[in-house]
Amino acid sequence: MLTFLDTSVLWWYWIVVGLVLLILEINTGTFVILGLGIASVLVGLLDYAMPMTFMKQILMWIALSLFWLWAWKRWVKEKDVSDSGQSNYNLDTLGTVTQAIEPHNRGKVTFDTPVLGNTSWTATATQSIAKDARVKIVDIHGQLIEVTPLSN
Protein backbone atom coordinates (compact mmCIF):
# COMPACT_ATOMS: atom_id res chain seq x y z
CA MET A 1 0.00 0.00 0.00
CA LEU A 2 2.79 2.47 0.88
CA THR A 3 4.55 1.64 -2.38
CA PHE A 4 1.36 2.47 -4.24
CA LEU A 5 1.05 5.80 -2.38
CA ASP A 6 4.75 6.59 -2.94
CA THR A 7 4.22 6.37 -6.68
CA SER A 8 0.71 7.78 -7.00
CA VAL A 9 0.74 10.83 -4.65
CA LEU A 10 2.44 13.57 -6.62
CA TRP A 11 3.85 16.81 -5.24
CA TRP A 12 1.12 18.95 -6.73
CA TYR A 13 -1.57 16.97 -4.87
CA TRP A 14 -0.25 18.51 -1.67
CA ILE A 15 -0.47 22.00 -3.15
CA VAL A 16 -4.05 21.40 -4.33
CA VAL A 17 -5.04 20.10 -0.89
CA GLY A 18 -3.32 23.12 0.67
CA LEU A 19 -5.20 25.54 -1.59
CA VAL A 20 -8.50 23.83 -0.76
CA LEU A 21 -7.71 24.19 2.96
CA LEU A 22 -6.83 27.86 2.46
CA ILE A 23 -10.16 28.44 0.69
CA LEU A 24 -11.93 26.72 3.59
CA GLU A 25 -10.06 29.02 5.97
CA ILE A 26 -11.40 32.06 4.15
CA ASN A 27 -14.90 30.84 4.98
CA THR A 28 -14.23 29.97 8.63
CA GLY A 29 -11.80 32.63 9.85
CA THR A 30 -10.41 30.50 12.68
CA PHE A 31 -6.73 30.57 11.57
CA VAL A 32 -6.44 26.85 12.45
CA ILE A 33 -7.04 25.60 8.92
CA LEU A 34 -4.67 28.32 7.64
CA GLY A 35 -1.71 26.52 9.22
CA LEU A 36 -2.82 23.16 7.88
CA GLY A 37 -3.10 24.62 4.39
CA ILE A 38 0.27 26.34 4.56
CA ALA A 39 1.86 23.13 5.87
CA SER A 40 0.35 21.21 2.94
CA VAL A 41 1.65 23.70 0.38
CA LEU A 42 5.11 23.60 1.98
CA VAL A 43 5.17 19.80 1.85
CA GLY A 44 4.23 19.96 -1.85
CA LEU A 45 7.02 22.44 -2.59
CA LEU A 46 9.57 20.44 -0.61
CA ASP A 47 8.50 17.23 -2.35
CA TYR A 48 8.95 18.98 -5.70
CA ALA A 49 12.45 20.20 -4.75
CA MET A 50 13.60 16.90 -3.24
CA PRO A 51 11.28 13.92 -3.74
CA MET A 52 10.31 12.09 -0.55
CA THR A 53 8.40 8.96 0.35
CA PHE A 54 4.74 9.31 1.22
CA MET A 55 5.45 8.46 4.86
CA LYS A 56 8.01 11.30 5.09
CA GLN A 57 5.51 13.66 3.46
CA ILE A 58 2.84 12.77 6.01
CA LEU A 59 5.27 13.11 8.93
CA MET A 60 6.47 16.49 7.63
CA TRP A 61 2.88 17.71 7.21
CA ILE A 62 2.02 16.59 10.76
CA ALA A 63 5.14 18.27 12.17
CA LEU A 64 4.48 21.55 10.34
CA SER A 65 0.80 21.48 11.33
CA LEU A 66 1.62 20.86 14.99
CA PHE A 67 4.18 23.66 14.91
CA TRP A 68 1.55 26.02 13.47
CA LEU A 69 -1.00 25.04 16.12
CA TRP A 70 1.55 25.56 18.88
CA ALA A 71 2.62 28.95 17.46
CA TRP A 72 -1.00 30.04 16.99
CA LYS A 73 -1.86 29.17 20.57
CA ARG A 74 1.28 30.83 21.89
CA TRP A 75 1.52 34.08 19.89
CA VAL A 76 -1.74 34.80 18.11
CA LYS A 77 -4.33 33.90 20.71
CA GLU A 78 -5.39 36.88 22.86
CA LYS A 79 -4.13 36.59 26.39
CA ASP A 80 -6.47 37.39 29.27
CA VAL A 81 -5.27 40.37 31.27
CA SER A 82 -7.51 39.63 34.21
CA ASP A 83 -9.42 36.72 35.64
CA SER A 84 -11.79 38.87 37.71
CA GLY A 85 -14.65 38.62 35.23
CA GLN A 86 -14.06 42.18 34.03
CA SER A 87 -13.07 43.17 30.53
CA ASN A 88 -9.40 43.66 29.80
CA TYR A 89 -7.75 46.25 32.01
CA ASN A 90 -4.31 46.69 33.50
CA LEU A 91 -3.76 47.57 37.15
CA ASP A 92 -0.85 49.82 36.17
CA THR A 93 -2.98 52.09 33.97
CA LEU A 94 -2.12 55.71 34.70
CA GLY A 95 -4.50 58.64 34.96
CA THR A 96 -4.99 62.17 36.24
CA VAL A 97 -7.41 63.18 39.00
CA THR A 98 -9.99 65.66 37.64
CA GLN A 99 -12.02 65.93 40.87
CA ALA A 100 -10.20 65.62 44.22
CA ILE A 101 -10.61 62.31 46.05
CA GLU A 102 -10.97 62.12 49.84
CA PRO A 103 -10.46 58.85 51.77
CA HIS A 104 -13.30 56.42 51.07
CA ASN A 105 -15.20 59.07 49.05
CA ARG A 106 -15.61 59.39 45.34
CA GLY A 107 -13.78 61.62 42.90
CA LYS A 108 -13.13 61.62 39.16
CA VAL A 109 -10.14 60.31 37.23
CA THR A 110 -9.32 60.53 33.52
CA PHE A 111 -7.06 57.69 32.39
CA ASP A 112 -4.42 57.90 29.65
CA THR A 113 -5.81 54.81 27.93
CA PRO A 114 -9.39 53.50 28.03
CA VAL A 115 -10.25 51.30 30.99
CA LEU A 116 -13.14 48.93 30.31
CA GLY A 117 -14.02 51.05 27.28
CA ASN A 118 -14.00 54.52 28.90
CA THR A 119 -11.33 57.04 29.89
CA SER A 120 -13.27 58.97 32.56
CA TRP A 121 -14.24 57.10 35.75
CA THR A 122 -15.50 57.62 39.27
CA ALA A 123 -12.75 56.58 41.64
CA THR A 124 -12.04 56.07 45.34
CA ALA A 125 -8.85 56.01 47.35
CA THR A 126 -7.72 55.21 50.88
CA GLN A 127 -5.95 58.59 51.15
CA SER A 128 -6.53 62.16 50.00
CA ILE A 129 -5.53 62.83 46.42
CA ALA A 130 -5.52 66.39 45.07
CA LYS A 131 -6.84 67.47 41.69
CA ASP A 132 -4.32 67.05 38.81
CA ALA A 133 -2.35 64.38 40.74
CA ARG A 134 -1.15 61.35 38.77
CA VAL A 135 -2.62 58.02 39.92
CA LYS A 136 -2.66 54.36 38.98
CA ILE A 137 -5.34 51.71 39.37
CA VAL A 138 -5.17 49.49 42.45
CA ASP A 139 -8.43 47.57 41.99
CA ILE A 140 -11.76 47.65 40.20
CA HIS A 141 -14.99 47.05 42.11
CA GLY A 142 -17.77 46.82 39.53
CA GLN A 143 -18.19 50.38 38.22
CA LEU A 144 -15.90 51.95 40.85
CA ILE A 145 -12.14 52.13 40.42
CA GLU A 146 -9.77 52.33 43.37
CA VAL A 147 -6.63 54.35 42.71
CA THR A 148 -3.44 55.27 44.51
CA PRO A 149 -1.14 58.23 43.86
CA LEU A 150 2.08 57.64 41.97
CA SER A 151 5.10 57.84 44.25
CA ASN A 152 7.85 60.07 42.88
How crowded is residue 31: how many other Cβ atoms within 10 Å of its Cβ?
13
Tell me the pLDDT band of 151, cut-offs 50, 70 and 90: confident
Spatial distance between the Cα atoms of 27 and 46, rounded to a whole number of angstroms: 27
Q: What pLDDT was estimated at residue 85?
A: 45
Report, as an integer, the average pLDDT of 51-65. 93
Residues of the chain with CATH 2.40.50.140: 94-149
Q: What is the mean pLDDT of residues 143-152?
A: 84
| CATH no. of 94-149 | 2.40.50.140
pLDDT at 84 over 60: no
**Residue 106 and residue 60: Cα distance in Å, rounded?**
61
Question: CB-based contacts of 102: which residues, under 8 Å, 6+ apart?
Answer: 128
